[in-house]
Amino acid sequence: MSLRGRGAILQAHLELRTRRRRESKVGNEYPRARSRTSDIDGRLACTQLMSPFDNGHMNHQPLTEPTKRVGRRDFWRREHPKFQSPHFRLEKSARIINRLAGSRECELLDVGCGPATLGRLLSSNIQYHGIDIYISDPNPRYLEYDFLEAPIAFADKEFDIVVCQGVFEYVGDHQREKLAEIHSLLREDGRFLVSYTNFDHRAPHFDPSYTNICGLQDFRLDLCTQFKINRSFASSYNWYHGQPRRAVMKAIQMPINVNLPIIGRALGVEFFFDCSPR
Ligand SMILES: C[S@@+](CC[C@H](N)C(=O)[O-])C[C@H]1O[C@@H](n2cnc3c(N)ncnc32)[C@H](O)[C@@H]1O
């Protein structure tokens, strides 16, 4: 991100803080922000500034509801070809999920499934379902809708495994709400595998389309309201941020499913959280 972009975010952050302080004095509080670290301020500031449908330009003018919805779907329709062939994180998550499932018959829901690439990497005993704002290949196992406009649900079904990768960066200020909805879809002994970008990385990447930016500790705190975190670890490590592409780097990083203290926080690109419902 350019210095100018960072400067604008910082300025928005400071403005938001000042406004919050002023408003909390007259009783209009921001309940989530008060007990949290300054990351949350950054997140709210970015939520206001960036959205997938403003193409990364700073935009203080809220769009009307229908324009927002249409814009979001259109944005993702254009993005989906990027997720058509399996990228490293997707391959690593498939490996983790196949191990979690073992040989038992399981039903899995992929929230924000994109072109359903994950489904192609899973064992045949895992029944794959997906939800996305844009589905290119209609199928009874895929539901097309905007989960910011309605709760995350798949008819009345419950699932053994719910996966959500590369998605929470786009949920705006609905993080806790969406986690609670996912919790209600899981069977009692179910598992939730979620990824989230490490914005604490030494060279963090702030995509202009992100609408929800928070530190790993804040993400973890919100997860803990609904789930027990069994383990968390970086999906990959990189000095400059970005998933490994070279075969040798992929082979080295694929089996590392434990947290490497200090290195993880500084160089972990994204983190996986393997969770059970509380
Ligand atoms: C970065 S992509 C990740 C795709 C896939 N999970 C992967 O890891 O390759 C984010 C996905 O979330 C979907 N998505 C984003 N916002 C959404 C919304 N409001 N409702 C439904 N799907 C959404 C997008 O269409 C896209 O497929």
- Residue-wise pLDDT for 185-231, tens only, equals 999 999 999 999 999 999 998 999 999 999 999 999 999 999 999 99
Enumerate residues 6+ apart whose C-beta is below 8 A from 19.
Answer: none
pLDDT above 70 for 72: yes
The whole-number pLDDT of residue 69 equals 63
Does the beta carbon of 112 lie inside 6 Å of ligand 1?
yes
The whole-number pLDDT of residue 259 equals 87
Q: Whose alpha carbon is nearest atom 27 of ligand 1? A: 114
Q: Whose alpha carbon is nearest atom 3 of ligand 1? A: 166
Cα gap 246→268, rounded to integer Å:
17
Cα gap 222→180, rounded to integer Å:
10
pLDDT above 90 for 162: yes
Parallel, antiparallel or unpaired: strands 126-132 and 106-111: parallel
The whole-number pLDDT of residue 213 equals 96
Distance 40 CA to ligand 1 centre (A): 22
Distance 26 CA to ligand 1 centre (A): 39
Identify the structural domains of the chain with CATH numbers, from first to last: 3-62 (no CATH), 81-277 (3.40.50.150)
Question: Order of strands, edge to edge, in the sheet holding 227-234?
Answer: 142-144, 126-132, 106-111, 159-164, 186-197, 270-277, 227-234
- In testing the pocket of ligand 1, which one of 170, 196, 271 has its CB within 8 Å of the most ligand atoms? 170
- In testing the pocket of ligand 1, which one of 65, 132, 135, 209 has its CB within 8 Å of the most ligand atoms? 132
Q: Whose alpha carbon is nearest atom 1 of ligand 1? A: 166
pLDDT above 70 for 156: yes
Distance 186 CA to ligand 1 centre (A): 20
The whole-number pLDDT of residue 150 equals 96
Decide: 30 and 24 in contact? Cβ < 8 Å.
Answer: yes
Q: Convert the pLDDT of each residue in 8-55 to its tens digit.
A: 544 444 344 344 334 333 333 222 222 233 333 333 333 333 333 333
